[in-house]
């Protein structure tokens, strides 16, 4: 039986902390009468797992965004870049030198000074080991030669060529405390990726964002308290916790019976029921999508017929996107094609549209290739039945069944292979990062943020074996990726649009639907800022900083 963590000891601890903090800041609170009500501990529920607390080991991105600052942040309403740890910045005329001024008198949660030197250290560590332990952040420091701290409030980034996308790249690297991570960066840096970064001896993880992580039970619960040394606006909450559920029904029930106060990522099928039960339910177009990966590696060992562009086009015609949007997502999704969703605004290419669901057209294309049906109704290509294994997470079974039905109509047999997220990625890259064995995978992806750079980087050859799951590798695409990095925004947009067209034409990842973000909470709470990634967000810590109890 899955053990349920108790919130009661946490609430007691948070109450004591709240009293201590309120005593320390009584004068400042009285001088700001317009501030929202203070205090309270918010209990959030979420389907999923905790990932890791080490940014270089992957996963846990929502945790990192709330405990570690960035140089910049994105406005949740306008999608514009605005200051965060960096208060302002300039660039040289040749685009190779970027200078950032940072927050004065900032401190880490343990009281140590947080300065431009921490930013320089983090970027240099990431650059130095980008071919090894920091590889998952390599795309953020492309062409960066070094970061230099001129003083405690000035960090200068030196590039070997003009780079226009510095803000969404280097500006989006989580800044880490040098006095904690410095010893790990010695020698070959192997200590970096193995560092667990856990709370220990009653002390929270050393943090620089509005929250500090005080407790971590893997795949069970993470607890956060307000960071008393945060340089930004003081959060209204004393703290919050995130409880992780493997079962969607259990998640919804927990909200209904009062075991949690809010859900980050409501199952679409439960949204209307929660509305009827009197909860606040908000949805917004998301920056994530569901997709079908079709292995594009020309070196794959079997079923090479799927490399044929006509076959891949036939496969797309067999996908009933509208049915998936309505049945699997209860209408909280929309058919998609481009790998940068419409929620990313002008970065999305509206000319990239999905092929219509048409089994007749798919059958015509496969007939034209001479892939005839065998006695069992399954087509035969190059002497082998067109029967394929589909890697998927168990939660995607309903989506798979709709896919299987559509493919049956064109004489193609699909068999599911359920795996957890980590095992699925490994199976796609098998063996040893060579992408030789998988045929299909139901995957999830997105732009990664409001800027499309990260989402685009996951299809580069350099990202193979690291953050590239599909196995797509095209030097022409990589060339465009490098061009958009160097270009100013006005020139980046058409390049980014062309890259979306290129990916769509390759059908290495066939985007199925763009998924809405749905959140819900008790009417006892207010002040949430919605984002395309929910209330406990990878995009910004501001989603929770103004949340407060409703006065009664």
Q: Contact 429/435 with Cβ under 8 angstroms?
A: yes
Q: What is the pLDDT of residues 397-440, one digit of tens each?
A: 999 999 999 999 999 999 999 998 889 999 999 999 999 999 99
Confidence check: pLDDT of 157 > 70: yes
> 216 in helix, strand or coil?
strand
Q: Which of 94-98, 106-110, 273-277, 369-373 has the lowest mean pLDDT?
A: 94-98
**Core vs surface per residue 75-107: b (16+ CB within 10 A) or e:** ebeebebeebbbeebebeeebbebbbbbbeebb
Q: How far apart, in whole angstroms, are the C-alpha atoms of residue 539 and residue 533?
A: 7
CA distance 445 to 422: 14
The verdict on pTM exceeding 0.85 is no
Is the pLDDT at 30 greater than 70? The verdict is: no
Q: Which of 443-452, 475-484, 516-525 has the lowest mean pLDDT?
A: 443-452
Report, as an integer, the average pLDDT of 119-135: 96
Dihedral, 154, 159, 163, 166 alpha carbons, nearest 10: -40
Mean pLDDT of 324-334: 96
Give the other-Cβ count within 10 Å of 284's Cβ. Answer: 16
Residue 486 has pLDDT above 50, yes or no: yes
The residue assigned the tokens 């795996």 is: 419
With 60 as the cut, is the pLDDT of residue 11 above it? no
CA torsion angle for 390, 396, 398, 403 (degrees, to 10)? -40
- Would you place residue 488 in the very low, low, confident or very high pLDDT band (cuts 50, 70, 90)? confident
- Token pair in block for residue 456: 């685009």
- The answer on pLDDT for 28 being more than 50 is no
* Residue of 468 and 22 predicted with greater confidence: 468
CB within 8 A of 352, min separation 6: which ones?
337, 338, 500, 501, 504
Res. 211: pLDDT tops 50: yes
Task: Pick the range with the lowest mean pLDDT from 133-142, 157-166, 297-306, 530-539.
Answer: 530-539
pLDDT of 129 reads 96
Q: Is the pLDDT of residue 299 over 90?
A: yes
Q: What is the pLDDT of residue 521?
A: 97
310-334 per-residue burial string, b: 16 or more CB within 10 A, e: under 16: ebbbbbbbbbbbebbbebbbbebbb
Q: What is the DSSP letter of 531?
A: -
Q: Which residues pair with 88 in a beta bridge?
A: 101
Question: What was the pLDDT predicted at 35?
Answer: 55
**Residues 6+ away with beta carbon under 8 Å from 190:** 132, 133
Q: Quote the pLDDT of residue 380.
A: 97
d(CA 70, CA 209): 9
How many CB atoms within 10 Å of residue 382?
10
**Residue 262: pLDDT over 80:** yes
Measure the CA angle with vertex 293, ends 48 and 443; round to 5°: 10
pLDDT tens for residues 57-111? 877 888 999 999 999 998 887 778 899 999 999 999 888 999 999 999 999 999 9
Angle at 281 between CA 258 and CA 536, to 5 degrees: 75
Is 70 exceeded by the pLDDT of residue 9?
no
Share of the chain above pLDDT 90, in %: 75
| Comparison of pLDDT for 356 and 533, the residue scoring more | 356
Q: Which two tokens stand for residue 311?
A: 């076959």
Tokens linked to 19 = 């009293």
pLDDT digits (tens, 9 = 90+) for 519-543: 999 999 999 988 888 888 888 888 9
Q: What is the pLDDT at residue 21?
A: 30
Whether the per-residue pLDDT at 2 is higher than 60: the answer is no
Rg, Å, the chain Cα set = 24
> Domains in the chain and their CATH numbers?
1-56+207-279+522-552 (3.40.190.10), 69-200 (3.90.76.10), 286-515 (3.10.105.10)
Rounded to an integer, the average pLDDT of 244-252 is 93
Collapsing DSSP to helix, strand or coil, 511 comes out as strand
Average pLDDT of the chain to the nearest whole number:
90
In the chain the first and final C-alpha atoms are separated, in Å, by 38
My answer on whether omega of the bond before 431 falls inside 30° of 0, hence cis, is yes
Mind listing the pLDDT tens digit for each residue in 32-58?
Answer: 445 556 679 999 999 888 778 999 987
Contacts of 50 (CB under 8 A, 6+ apart): 59, 60, 63, 216, 218, 219, 220, 222, 244
């Amino acid at each position: 039986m899955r053990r349920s963590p108790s919130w009661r000891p946490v609430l007691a601890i948070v109450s004591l902390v709240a009293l201590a903090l309120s005593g320390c800041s009584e004068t400042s609170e009285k001088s700001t009468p317009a501030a929202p009500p203070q205090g309270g501990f918010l209990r959030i529920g979420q389907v999923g797992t905790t990932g890791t607390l080490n940014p270089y080991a992957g996963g846990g991105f929502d945790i990192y965004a709330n405990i570690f600052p960035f140089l910049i942040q994105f406005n949740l309403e306008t999608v514009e870049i605005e200051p965060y740890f960096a208060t302002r910045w300039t660039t040289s005329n040749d685009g190779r030198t970027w200078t950032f001024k940072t927050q004065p008198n900032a401190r880490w949660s343990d009281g140590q000074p947080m300065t431009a030197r921490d930013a320089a250290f983090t970027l240099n560590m990431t650059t130095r080991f980008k071919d090894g332990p920091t590889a998952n952040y390599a795309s953020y420091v492309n062409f960066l030669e070094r970061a230099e701290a001129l003083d405690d409030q000035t960090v200068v980034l030196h590039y070997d060529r003009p780079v226009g996308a510095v803000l969404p790249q280097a500006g989006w690297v989580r800044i880490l405390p040098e006095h904690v991570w410095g010893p790990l960066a010695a020698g070959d840096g192997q200590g970096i990726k193995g560092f667990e970064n856990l709370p220990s001896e009653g002390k929270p993880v050393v943090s620089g964002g509005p929250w500090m992580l005080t407790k971590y039970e893997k795949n069970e619960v993470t607890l956060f308290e307000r960071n008393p040394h945060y340089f930004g606006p003081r959060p209204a909450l004393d703290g919050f916790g995130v409880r992780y559920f493997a079962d969607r029904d259990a998640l919804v029930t927990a909200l209904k019976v009062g075991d949690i106060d809010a859900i980050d990522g409501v199952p679409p099928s439960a949204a209307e029921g929660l509305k009827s039960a009197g909860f606040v339910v908000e949805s917004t177009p998301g920056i994530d999508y569901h997709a079908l990966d079709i292995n594009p590696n020309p070196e794959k060992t079997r079923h090479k017929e799927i490399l044929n562009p006509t076959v891949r086009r036939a496969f797309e015609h067999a996908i009933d996107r509208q049915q998936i949007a309505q049945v699997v997502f209860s209408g909280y999704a929309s058919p998609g094609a481009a790998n940068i969703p419409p929620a990313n605004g002008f970065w999305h290419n509206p000319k990239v549209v999905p092929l219509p669901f048409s089994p007749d057209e798919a059958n015509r294309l496969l007939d034209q290739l001479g892939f005839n049906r065998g006695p069992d109704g399954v087509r035969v290509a190059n002497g082998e039945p067109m029967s394929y294994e589909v890697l998927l997470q168990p939660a995607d079974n309903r989506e798979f069944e709709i896919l299987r039905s559509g493919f049956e109509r064109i004489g193609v047999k699909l068999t599911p292979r359920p795996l957890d997220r980590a095992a699925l990625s490994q199976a796609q890259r098998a063996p040893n990062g060579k992408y030789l064995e998988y045929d299909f995978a139901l995957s999830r992806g997105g732009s990664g943020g409001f800027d499309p750079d990260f989402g685009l980087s996951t299809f580069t050859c350099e990202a193979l074996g690291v953050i590239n799951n599909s196995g797509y590798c095209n030097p022409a695409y990589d060339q465009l990726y490098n061009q958009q990095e160097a270009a100013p925004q006005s020139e980046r947009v058409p390049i980014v649009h062309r890259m979306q067209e290129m990916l769509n034409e390759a059908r290495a990842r066939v985007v199925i639907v763009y998924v809405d973000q749905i959140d819900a909470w008790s009417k006892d709470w207010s002040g949430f800022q919605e984002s395309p990634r929910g209330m406990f967000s990878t995009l910004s810590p501001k989603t929770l900083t103004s949340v407060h109890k409703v006065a009664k």
